Structure 1
């Protein structure tokens, strides 16, 4: 059994090391999530710590999925800061530890982020992901619409340039 909860600023601070572990696991697993190797726990912790002010200001919303006290996954929403784009947000860092994959946690995290966005009045979600990845399949089967593929958009952890698919999802009011 797992639980998904939005992390308050205090909870975010107390879970930084676990969030760092999730990010390191993703990079070590070859996920194109913005980082290249070598990439260690200190790098991951520094990245998450750099988000603390945005989390405290509720500009970066973070959810954690845990079971038995262990953090198994996370997802975030970055809220738009421009007056003409407050109706949209970007879904980022949907991560599930490799040891916990195949249990539907990614889909559960995605559904929770969508639910919370809808509740907050967000009408449009955007994201990008590696073309042909497992994550892309999750979005395609979850009602997201791919509106384009950009060749050689982002690097894999080993530096190889990868095509990325860009998605949106309109949320019902």
Structure 2
């Protein structure tokens, strides 16, 4: 595999790459990623997420979206939400870190996180927050990057495979 490159996606980039972004999200959900969706989950559902939930924030410049490409394909993405209340202008939220199952275990998630932190610093933000399914493979990644567990909330989200099981979430933060 060749080296991957990371770039900022604007609104027109999302529109131009909608089908591939939909495929990325669809593949991640079908691989069991706990990123807010449960099966059954269609490609149309995945594309709607990008147009309905991500595109407005990117267009309004209240959300930054980074995309990692490898061999011409979208391999992963992460978002930085900074549409905060006036008393929270010092913080940002990390949203929807995902790496396509075909590209995992190559350091893409790590690089995306390092890059998104650099954007938070440029915005003058000093606190980053996120949540992840407790015990998920992303939890050790966040810990290795300096994120600290604030707490665990039991029964926070449904299992992505559509069962009635409710998974806990670990809320984490990092001071920059």
Query: TM-score, normalization: structure 1?
Result: 0.95
| 2:172 pairs with one of 144, 167, 170 | 167
For residues 83 and 174 of structure 2, what CA distance do their matches in structure 1 show? 15
Q: Check the 8 A contact 2:133/2:168 in 1, yes or no.
A: yes
2:60 is equivalent to residue 57 of structure 1: yes
Runs of 4 or more consecutive aligned structure 1 residues displaced over 3 Å after TM superposition: none
What is aligned with 1:113? 116
For residue 16 of structure 1, report the CA deviation from its aligned partner: 1.6
Contact 1:31 1:156 in 2 (8 A): no
Q: Distance in 2 between matches of 1:122 and 1:16?
A: 29
Count of equivalent residues: 171
Summarize the alignment of residues 18-167 of structure 1 with structure 2, pairs less than 5 Å apart: 18-50=20-52, 51-157=54-160, 158-159=162-163, 160-167=165-172
Deviations 1:107-149 (A, max 9, x none): 0001000111111111111000011111011001110000100
| Gap regions ≥5 residues in structure 2 | none
- Residue 130 of structure 2 aligns to a residue whose secondary structure is strand
Q: Does 1:10 align with 2:15?
A: no
Please tell me the root mean square deviation across aligned C-alpha atoms, in Å: 1.0
* Aligned-partner SS, 2:146: coil
Instruction: Give the structure-2-normalised TM-score.
Output: 0.94
- Conserved 8 A contact 1:4-1:66: yes
1:5 and 1:14 mapped to 2: Cα distance? 14
- 1:87 shift after superposition: 1.1
Separation in 2 of the partners of 1:16 and 1:117?
25
